[in-house]
Amino acid sequence: MSLVLGNLLQALRASDVRVSTSEGIDAAAVLGAVGYDDRALLKTALSQVLAKTVDDKSRFDECFEQFFHAEDLRQLPPADEATAEDNAGDSGNETEGDSPGGEQPAAEAANAESGDSLQSLLEAGDRAQLQMAIASAAREVGITEIRLFTQRGMYSRRMLERMGVEPLERRLYALRSAGDEAEAEAERLRGRLTVLREDVLALVDRQLLLLTANAGTRLREEILQQVPLARADVSDFRIMQTLVRKLAKKLVALHSRRRKVAQRGVLDVRHTIRRNIEFDGLLFNIVWRRKKIERPKIVAVCDVSGSVANYARFLLLFLYSVAEVLPKVRAFVFSSVLAEVTELFKTHAVEEAVALTLQQHGWGSTDYGMAFTQLCEQALGDIDHHTTVLILGDARSNYGYAGLRELRQIHERARRVIWLNPESRGFWTVGDSEMPRLATACDRVDTCRTVRHLERLIGELMRTAV
């Protein structure tokens, strides 16, 4: 049985598709008959022998699509050659493990050669070849054995080392030490290594999600809390929406208790004594000190262009799931133009409103200048010292006007302006990003890439409600 098929069967079992030994043998026979050339035919043929019920077929389809996400079927060997290659790879690994210390120079030479090969691959910019090299490294380090979220870093590093990243890292260190004359080359190499690390981690995350499908709801939710939302698979949206509602309910319960305590206040001794004079000092009527509770107003402005739409989906879901504590939320979305969607959330269920928002306004190209201009026209009069303006976007203006002047007008009127950027900080100065300039008109700028980041942010906003 080929290694690829064996890994697929392992993933199916992790997804609650029961596969017996005899069915695995049947699947191997099917693979030998149809091969890898026709993906649709392979999927249909394997489903006939591995999926027995309607639920099994649904889980099989999801697992097959996710499993072969990083596999280029055209590059896989014919089915009848796969077993021989797998066996050869195993024997090669045993020989490598028994190598004496005298082989170290040869190993270092091979490492340097792999580093040159990797640098050539990165400089060529061929994403398909790079993804194939990453997939090959994943198989070599045994990525199918990953089980815990804490293993992500270990497997990512092993894959990078197998691809030959160490010579490139030494080269980058040397370039940085060389001074200003090598700064441009060092920056180019650093950018390529950043892309490589992101792609390697993306594959590790996919494998982790694939192989922990049946590891328990708590473990899966823990993983999904820390997976960047842009990498979340469509099949995980339902789980993540449930997770967001659960976290929102926890935050509401926590901050509702704090609000009750704040509303009750502390004993007002002077007024209590005065009110009970007629009872000869017996305290029949208690007077509490009270202070007016000013619930914050939230104006949420979400970029729903193709690059960040998934982040907007979960931010809006979070905001409107905690409406008991944060009832004053106005929501605006934009790609090329700005639109207010507050009424959608008043007339539809939260999940339905989010879906309609993305369907009607999402996945376009971004125009921040137009969005902030229209926000000033539609909502500037409603923004005051009680208002928190929450902006979600990558600040990439497609080299057009970014709306800095209008954002400063908003900042002057608002209590605070918070910008959440779904990109890592290392990308904020790359390409058409206007984040460094727009950040000057914000009180706070944070990276916000995961459900956990959103939970922390919403929790901080809710503290101002009591």
pLDDT at 260 over 70: no
Is residue 238 a part of any domain in this protein? no
Is residue 170 a part of any domain in this protein? yes
Residue 336: how many other CB atoms lie within 10 Å = 13
Amino acid at 279: F
pLDDT at 437 over 90: yes
Same domain, 397 and 437: yes
Q: Domain end: 155, 181, 215, which one?
A: 215
Same domain, 61 and 205: no
Residue 411: how many other CB atoms lie within 10 Å = 16
> Token digits for 369?
């200048």
Q: Domain end: 196, 215, 234, which one?
A: 215
Q: What is the pLDDT of residues 190-202, one digit of tens each?
A: 888 988 998 899 8
Q: Which helix (H) or strand (E) holds 319?
A: helix 309-321
DSSP string, 218-257: HHHHHHHHHS-GGG--GGGHHHHHHHHHHHHHHHHHHHHH
Same domain, 432 and 302: yes
Using pLDDT thresholds of 50, 70 and 90, give the confidence band for residue 214: low
CB neighbour class for 165 (10 Å; exposed up to 12, middle 13-18, buried from 19): buried
Same domain, 110 and 74: no
pLDDT for 452: 81
Highest mean pLDDT among 89-98, 263-272, 346-355, 397-406: 397-406
Is residue 207 a part of any domain in this protein? yes
Residue 359: how many other CB atoms lie within 10 Å = 9
Same domain, 204 and 329: no
Q: Which helix (H) or strand (E) holds 299?
A: strand 297-303
Is residue 364 a part of any domain in this protein? yes
Is residue 196 a part of any domain in this protein? yes
pLDDT at 41 over 70: yes
Is residue 227 a part of any domain in this protein? no
Q: 75 is in which domain, residue-wise?
A: 1-98
CA distances from 129 to 121, 264, 314 (A): 8, 65, 33
- pTM of the full structure: 0.50
Same domain, 94 and 198: no
Cβ distance 392 to 334 under 8 Å? no
pLDDT at 378 over 90: yes
CA distances from 233 to 27, 35, 214, 228, 378 (A): 26, 27, 16, 10, 35
Cβ distance 229 to 310 under 8 Å? yes
pLDDT at 386 over 80: yes
Is residue 246 a part of any domain in this protein? no
Residue 248: how many other CB atoms lie within 10 Å = 24
Cβ distance 158 to 204 under 8 Å? no
Using pLDDT thresholds of 50, 70 and 90, give the confidence band for residue 232: low
Tell me the mean pLDDT in the region 331-347: 90
Same domain, 453 and 305: yes
What percent of the chain is predicted at pLDDT more than 70?
77
Tell me the mean pLDDT in the region 203-212: 81
CATH of the domain at 435: 3.40.50.410
Q: 220-233 b/e with 16+ CB inside 10 Å = b? A: bbbbbbebbbebbb
Using pLDDT thresholds of 50, 70 and 90, give the confidence band for residue 435: very high
pLDDT at 372 over 70: yes
pLDDT for 364: 78
pLDDT for 391: 92
The tally of domains found in the chain comes to 3
Same domain, 310 and 452: yes
pLDDT at 37 over 90: no
Same domain, 325 and 182: no
Tell me the mean pLDDT in the region 251-272: 64
Is residue 86 a part of any domain in this protein? yes
Same domain, 315 and 404: yes
